Amino acid sequence: MARRHGHYYVDDTCIGCGACDHACPGKVDAVYEVAGDFLGRFAIVAEECIDCDLCVPLCPVDCIHDARNEGIASKDGDLEQIKKLQSWAQARPQAL
């Protein structure tokens, strides 16, 4: 069975306000600031996201999306598809 993962991603219109980073539950910490991004944008680690939806209402530019609502991902899968939607963002470096 596929490992569970979240279905939320950030599109490239993020303005780097950081609201989603504050909203994401501390123990989850799925949001990260994209290293070296000239606009200071944020992105989501799908493998860490728990689909809680807390970040979405706080985003001032509506650039956080649930891939399931857009017919892109199914309930249980399509991790690679979700990652492609956020391919503008450099991945968060793995914790050592």
Binding site for ligand SF4 (CB under 6 A): 6, 8, 10, 14-20, 23-24, 28, 30-31, 41-42, 44, 49-55, 58-61, 63-64
Quick check: helix, strand or coil at residue 59? Answer: coil
Nearest to 12 by CA among 81, 67, 71, 61: 61
DSSP 79: H
At its nearest, how many Å lie between ligand SF4 and the CB of residue 31?
Answer: 5
For tokens 């649930």, what's the residue? 66
Q: Considering beta carbons, is residue 25 or 84 the nearer one to ligand SF4?
A: 25
CA distance 16 to 10: 11
Q: Considering beta carbons, is residue 17 or 74 the nearer one to ligand SF4?
A: 17
At its nearest, how many Å lie between ligand SF4 and the CB of residue 85?
Answer: 13
Q: Considering beta carbons, is residue 41 or 85 the nearer one to ligand SF4?
A: 41
